[in-house]
Structure 1
Amino acid sequence: MSSLTVQDLTKSFTATAPVLTGVDLHVPSGSFTALLGPSGCGKTTLLRLIAGFDDPDSGTVALGDRVVAGAGRSVAARRRGIGFVPQEGGLFPHLTVAGNISFGLPRRQRREGGRVRELLALVGLDAELADRAPHQLSGGQQQRVALARALAPEPSLVLLDEPFSSLDAALREETRLAVSQALRATGATAVLVTHDQAEALSMADQVAVLRGGRLVQLTDPRTLYRRPGDLDVATFVGEAVVLDADLRDGLAHCALGALPYEQASTGAVPDGRARVLLRPEQLRLSAPDPGAPIARVRSVDFYGHDSRVWLDLPDGGTVSARLDGADLPRAGDDVAISVRGTALAFPAGHGAALPAPAPLG
């Protein structure tokens, strides 16, 4: 397996609308990176440039020490040694599972069949499926076969373009776990394109967040969630409580009281007006207490394993708390709010507008 290095990559399809602008990305050998961002941010374009399906306007793509795009050269996609797993699997309908997996293998390995059985086991599928046609498989099974086909020739890099987007929730979780285990078992270097935050955070060693054709943050999942580079990243990678605050005397004074805070990675925030970030799971609710901030429960979204409680604050703001599924308040209840841990401070005016209140119900 090889590392992947992208340097100063740009791509435009029209003169006035660049899709990628100066993207730098390094994926260490044997690691898993997720490209995360909203629709239209350039994720799939970046993947296609790496794969060799399109050429960049400028910049370079290198696999290990081998430059495959830019610097006056463009190695054809079929010669880059890259495995590709598309959104819908892209299996050949006229071939069996075994035929699909062995498609890119030397003739001898195709005849022997051992590599096919090995790969089916690797992706968690029974060897009895080898003679089935793709339409006889579930969506999750098709995606695993697509991964097995991509891994068959032992590529230097595996690219996955939203491979779980068409699966239902339960099948998506099962399939992505099997795919993740298979990639790690082979030591593959992998890049996943996704707009699913949970998918990126749970699968990847590092997450690259793209916005408007630029890479705005590259870090490990825990740092991304706990110390996002800006409030737009914060609200994109998870639920967020964003409040106006006044920083003084080492505390952030806001609608939830005087909170300890840390400086955002963007730099020191001076005393005075600021915005602070909390995650909903940091909020704790209890019976009303005159010494604590009081809020009224607007609504409760029950998910079984946990719940989201929407709260109206006295200043007119709305925040959400994430609680376990037991002993939940009811709509209309008054509750006291306490905060666990520290807030993250950003300069005033930083990031997008505050999240809109949840609908009643």
Structure 2
Amino acid sequence: MSALTVTGLVKSHGRTPVLTGVDLHVPSGTTTALLGPSGCGKTTLLRIVAGFDDPDAGTVELGGRVVAGAGRGVPARSRGIGFVPQEGGLFPHLSVAGNVAFGLPRRLRRDRTRVAGLLALVGLDAALADRVPHQLSGGQQQRVALARALAPEPSLVLLDEPFSSLDAALREDTRRAVADALRATGATAVLVTHDQAEALSTADQVAVVRGGRLAQLADPRTLYSRPADLEVAAFVGEAVVLDGEAAGGRVTSELGELSLGRPCADGPVRVLLRPEQLRLSGGPGTRARVRGVDFYGHDARIELELPSGLRVSARTEGGDLPSEGAEVTVVVAGPAVPFPAAAPTVPPVATAPARPGVPTAT
């Protein structure tokens, strides 16, 4: 497998800029997730890497070879890239075996052992080899699409929101099977997604794309615990944002005196906490009113109203939960992450939908 390096990539559609100078490095044998809202440029970036579009400026290198930009352009078919689209893109008239073997040299296409091995790699029984795509579930079709992409041992595998059409249960099982297969082959991969949990749980590093640029590139733990700014923080999980006054390495806020996860200058600040840091306690702390309880089984999301009227969210175990309207005491576990007081305003309650499976402190 080969490393991918994107440098200064620029692309516009007509007069509308889509990518405005993207730099990205994907080390060989790792998976990088491109995470961002619709229209941020992540799919355009993927298409340029694949060879389906040409950049206006900048370069794409694969294994040290320039495949796009700098006056060069290697055709998509000659880049050695495997591509898995949203809907799988299987050939409806071919069997599973025929689809998987499609990209292999002709002499290997009838090798049933090789096809069976590829199906096993993505968690499918070899007995499915003679079925046609419409006889498979959506999750099975996506796994066959991955097996087809991996069959010719490509330099790079690109996945364009491959789980978006699947229901929740199929999505999780298929995501795990795909991640396991990529790791087993040592594939270099780029996954486009708008699902934060998917990106954090699948990738070795996550690139947050915003307005045609990379807002942050980091491993999942760093991205979640030390986001580059409050906009990244609110997009990658639920954010509790408070005004405060920093002094001597601590900050005074509506939730009491908090420790800081990194140094900052004394004076007004805005601080980030994650909902799982807010603990409901029977002892001393900040009084709050429960305004909503979302129960997910293994955990719950509690919407709290602080004395100022500010509403924040707490994530807690799904056991003994307070009732709506109850008064509770809130304490904070762990440090807060400070940002300049002039940082853009971010809603205190998550902008991303809370649901089971959204990672906590990772």
Q: Tell me which interval the TM-score lies in, with the shorter structure as reference length.
A: over 0.9
For 2:153 and 2:344, locate their aligned partners in 1 and report how far apart those are by CA, in whole Å: 43
Equivalent residue number for residue 5 of structure 1? 5
Task: Specify the alignment match of 1:295 in structure 2.
Answer: 288
In structure 1, stretches of 5+ residues that fail to align are: none
Alpha-carbon distance in structure 2 between the residues aligned to 1:156 and 1:270: 46
Structure 1 equivalent of residue 229 of structure 2: 230
Q: Distance in 1 between matches of 2:321 and 2:231?
A: 30
Q: Determine helix, strand or coil for the equivalent of 1:91.
A: coil
SS in 2 for 1:341: coil
1:285 alignment partner in structure 2: 280
The CA deviation string for residues 216-239 of structure 1, in whole angstroms up to 9 with x for no partner, is 110100000000000000010001
Q: How many residues align?
A: 351
* C-alpha distance in structure 2 between counterparts of 1:104 and 1:309, whole Å: 51
**Separation in 1, partners of 2:296, 2:349:** 21
| 2:146 counterpart residue number | 147
Q: Residue by residue, what CA displacement relative to the aligned partner does 1:188-223 show, whole Å, maximum 9, x if unpaired?
A: 000000000000000100000000000011010000
Match of 1:344 in 2: 337
Equivalent-residue separation in structure 1 for 2:40 and 2:151 (angstroms): 31
1:333 matched to which residue of 2? 326
Match for residue 42 of structure 2?
43
Question: CA-to-partner distance for each residue in 1:312-353, whole Å, 9 max, x for gaps?
Answer: 000110111100001111111111111111000000121333
Instruction: Give the Cα separation in 2 of the matches to 1:312 and 1:54.
Output: 49
Rounded Cα–Cα distance in structure 2 between residues aligned with 1:323 and 1:106: 54
Tell me the CA shift for residue 270 of structure 1. 2.2
Alignment partners' CA distance in 2, 1:352 and 1:153: 49
Equivalents in 2 of 1:199, 1:211: separation in Å? 18
User: Structure 1: how far apart are the matches of 2:342 and 2:142?
Assistant: 44
Q: Is the 8 A contact 1:318 1:357 kept in 2?
A: no
Name the CA distance, whole Å, in 2 between partners of 1:82 and 1:141: 22
* Structure 1 segment 29-178 matched on structure 2, within 5 A: 29-178=28-177
Alpha-carbon contact 1:301-1:309 (below 8 Å) kept? yes
Residue identity matched to 1:342: P
**How far off is 1:356 after superposition?**
5.4
Give the letter for the 2:78 counterpart. R
The match for 2:192 is 193
Deviations 1:86-132 (A, max 9, x none): 00000000111011111111111112222211101111101110110
**Counterpart Cα distance in 2 of 1:98 and 1:244:** 59
Q: Secondary structure at the match of 1:181?
A: helix
| Amino acid in the other structure paired with 2:84 | V
Partner residue of 2:301 out of 295, 298, 308: 308
* Aligned-pair identity (%): 72
Q: In 1, Cα distance between the equivalents of 2:281 and 2:323?
A: 12
Deviations 1:127-168 (A, max 9, x none): 110110100000000000000000011000000000000000
Letter in 2 for 1:312: E
TM-score, normalised relative to structure 2: 0.95
Q: Which residue of structure 1 lines up, in the alignment, with residue 358 of structure 2?
A: none
- C-alpha separation between the residues in 2 aligned to 1:216 and 1:208? 8
Q: Residues 104 and 153 of structure 1 are in contact (CA less than 8 Å); yes or no, is this contact kept in structure 2?
A: yes
SS in structure 2 at match of 1:62: strand
